[in-house]
Amino acid sequence: MVRKLKAHEKIKGWQYKLVNGKRIKPILYAGKAAGLGKYMAGVFVDSGELVCDSNKRVIPYKKIIESDDADASG
d(CA 44, CA 62): 15
Q: Are the beta carbons of 31 and 46 closer than 8 angstroms?
A: no
Q: Does residue 18 sit within a domain?
A: no
> Do strands 37-44 and 22-31 pair parallel, antiparallel, or not at all (unpaired)?
antiparallel
Model pLDDT, residue 74: 47
Q: Does residue 9 sit within a domain?
A: no
- What is the number of structural domains in the chain? 1
Does residue 24 or residue 7 have the better pLDDT? 24
Of 20, 67, 17, 21, which is closest to residue 42 (Cα–Cα)?
Answer: 17
At 24, which amino acid appears?
A: I
Per residue in 62-72, pLDDT (tens digit) is: 999 877 765 54
Q: Does residue 61 sit within a domain?
A: yes
- The model carries a pTM of 0.65
Q: Does residue 15 sit within a domain?
A: no
CB atoms within 10 A of CB 66: 10
